[in-house]
Amino acid sequence: MDAETTVVALTPELAPAVVRLCEGALDLPEDAAEAAAIVDTLWLRAAGDRPVLALGAYRATELVGVLIGSMPAADQRLGHVDLIAVAPEHRRRGAARALLAEAERRFAGLGATEVLLAGNPPFYAWPGIDVRYTPAVCAALALGYQQDRTAWNMTADLSSDDSPALRSTAAAEDRLAGQGVTVRAATPADLPALAELAGETFGGTWAAELAGSVGRPGAGCHLAERNGSVIAFAAYGSSRPSWFGPMGTAPAAEGSGIGGVLLRRCLRDQRAAGHESAQIGWVGPVPFYSRSAGARIERVFFLYRKQVGN
């Protein structure tokens, strides 16, 4: 780090400055466009649920770089770097190196033995580093991180009425109704049943992601029920407005076409909210999304880890 760079913890009233920095520093336009939602999710919303670290790199009085990190509520041996960004005109002068070193030191101080450059659901903006952020891939390797997994998104085109992602669900819904299955938008009153299905059948953080989808502006969830029981769900917007997921169908109801219907109902909402495309995040069953919505694999992410402490 050059002598003029200092790294300090940021307080939430600096969130607007962090958003402005990210709008200029996230080189992929789809990320810059959602900088405000990303900062809100990773920092302000996540802080209600788990330990969150927000660091700023300053040169004189100027904020030139930020890092947002977190520890899973259930496993504080891991520190996650959820976001790192440095203003273009301040790059290659050690700001990311200094931010990561401070994050590693603080995570180790809290008991972490590993730091991951990887998303930490239910609040995440990317599964890992998008391979097109090539400087970040180079920095990860230079700073001692090892690649351990790969993840990918699929893109559903919502730009035209003819898109397979916007194909009508009416006939399939009629067929399902004949089998006693109804589909509808979820409301907050459905959250306990949704959480039960998500938790019992799929585990992980899906129940929390559903809580971030139902009834929040820019987000939503559709469900299917039979005999008063929720048997499938699909959600969007929990972490980022243009992102779809998670979705799940109870094993006994698989294969009846419910998933495709719920998926397209969500994508229709996202189109109505003005999105020209949706990201199906951290996939999952590629053939299902290809068939049901004409989605294609597009964003690819490398996930990294590094041992810290002793």
| Minimum separation from the CB atom of position 94 to ligand COA (A) | 5
| Interface with ligand COA, residue 9, by CB under 6 A | no
The least CB distance from residue 282 to ligand COA, in Å, is 15
Q: Which of 52, 68, 78, 86 binds ligand COA (CB under 6 A)?
A: 86
Whether 166 and 159 have beta carbons less than 8 Å apart is answered as no
Which residues lie below 8 Å from residue 30, measured CB to CB, with a gap of 6+? Answer: 242, 279
CA distance 258 to 224: 7
Site membership for ligand COA, residue 52 (CB under 6 A): no
| Cα 126 to Cα 116: distance, rounded to the nearest angstrom | 13
Which of 43, 54, 60 lies closest to 10 in space, CA to CA? Answer: 54
Regarding 54 and contact with ligand COA (CB under 6 A), the answer is: no
Which amino acid type is present at position 268? R
91 binds ligand COA (CB under 6 A): yes
Looking at the chain, the number of H-run helices and the number of E-run strands are 10, 13
Per CB under 6 A, the segment of 25-33, 157-165, 218-226, 299-307 that binds ligand COA is 25-33
Token pair recorded at residue 253: 């109801």
CB of 63 to ligand COA, least distance (A): 13
Beta partners for residue 297, in sequence order: 154
Least Cα distance to 18 among 3, 42, 39 occurs for 39
Q: Cβ of residue 299: shortest distance to ligand COA, in angstroms? A: 12
Q: Which of 46, 136, 219, 258 binds ligand COA (CB under 6 A)?
A: 136
Buried b (16+ CB within 10 A) or exposed e, 47-83: bebbbbbbbbbbbeeebbbbbbbbbbeeeeebbbbbb
For the bound state, the minimum distance from the C-beta of residue 144 to ligand COA, rounded and expressed in Å, comes to 11
Q: Tell me, residue by residue from 139 to 158, as one string, x for binding to ligand COA by CB under 6 A and - for no binding.
A: x--x----------------
Contact call for residue 27 and ligand COA (CB under 6 A)? yes
Residue from 25, 63, 158, 208 in contact with ligand COA (CB under 6 A): 25
- Please choose, out of 88-96, 239-247, 255-263, 278-286, the segment that lies near ligand COA by the rule CB under 6 A: 88-96
In the block, tokens 């300090």 appear at: 8
With beta carbons less than 8 A apart as the criterion, state whether 166 and 261 touch.
no
Q: Any residues with CB less than 8 A from the CB of 162 and at least 6 apart, and which?
A: none
CA distance 212 to 111: 28
Question: Which of 135, 164, 215, 309: binder of ligand COA (CB under 6 A)?
Answer: 135
Q: Does 67 bind ligand COA (CB under 6 A)?
A: no
**Min dist. Cβ of residue 78 to ligand COA (A):** 18
Which residue among 21, 83, 197, 232 contacts ligand COA (CB under 6 A)?
A: 83
The smaller minimum CB distance to ligand COA, of residues 86 and 191, is found at 86
The stretch among 46-54, 69-77, 134-142, 219-227 that binds ligand COA (CB under 6 A) is 134-142
Residue owning tokens 């998670």: 246
The residues of the shown chain that bind ligand COA, judged by CB under 6 A, are 25-27, 65, 83-86, 91-97, 126, 129, 133, 135-136, 138-139, 142
